[in-house]
Amino acid sequence: MVGEMSCIFCQIVAGKVPGEILYQDEKVIAFRDINPQSPTHLIIIPKKHIPSLAHLSEAESSLIGDMVTVANQLARREGISESGYRLVINCGKQGGQLVPHLHMHLLGGRKLSDTLG
């Protein structure tokens, strides 16, 4: 509980920290990244606090499909469906995850790097 109360993304879900929320339903919420790496840079998360992909149980795995569905809808809304985009989930320290609440990045609006790091 302590971890969740100090989680920045849980605070956005709870409306305690402002976010430019673009979509929400009972399971998923999406908002604009505060430090965008591309013209479109959105964050899609489960409302439930799951610390990372490595903590996702088999029973919860359909959430990833829900997040992809939302990402595809938002890509259309942002006008980058045709030009192309990238969905990224960083997991853990070496995977580059900074916020310990499972999230998917939707990046697009420019030609992205050919390398994945």
Residue closer to ligand AMP, measured from CB, 64 or 99: 99
Tell me the window of 56-64, 67-75, 78-86, 91-99 that interacts with ligand AMP (CB under 6 A): 91-99
Told to check if 12 binds Zn ion by CB under 5 A, we report no
What does the alpha-carbon distance between residue 60 and residue 34 come to, in Å, rounded to a whole number? 27
| Binds ligand AMP by CB under 6 A, chosen from 8, 56, 68, 112 | 8
Closest CA to 71 of 104, 114, 25: 104
Residue closer to ligand AMP, measured from CB, 52 or 72: 52
Told to check if 35 binds ligand AMP by CB under 6 A, we report yes
> What angle is formed at CA 87 by the lines to CA 101 and CA 102, rounded to 5 degrees?
10
What does the alpha-carbon distance between residue 95 and residue 23 come to, in Å, rounded to a whole number? 26
User: Within 13 Å, how many C-alpha atoms sit on residue 88's CB side?
Assistant: 18
Told to check if 113 binds ligand AMP by CB under 6 A, we report no
Told to check if 96 binds ligand AMP by CB under 6 A, we report yes
Closest CA to 25 of 78, 59, 74, 92: 74
- The residues of the shown chain that bind ligand AMP, judged by CB under 6 A, are 8, 17, 19, 31, 33-35, 43, 90, 96-99
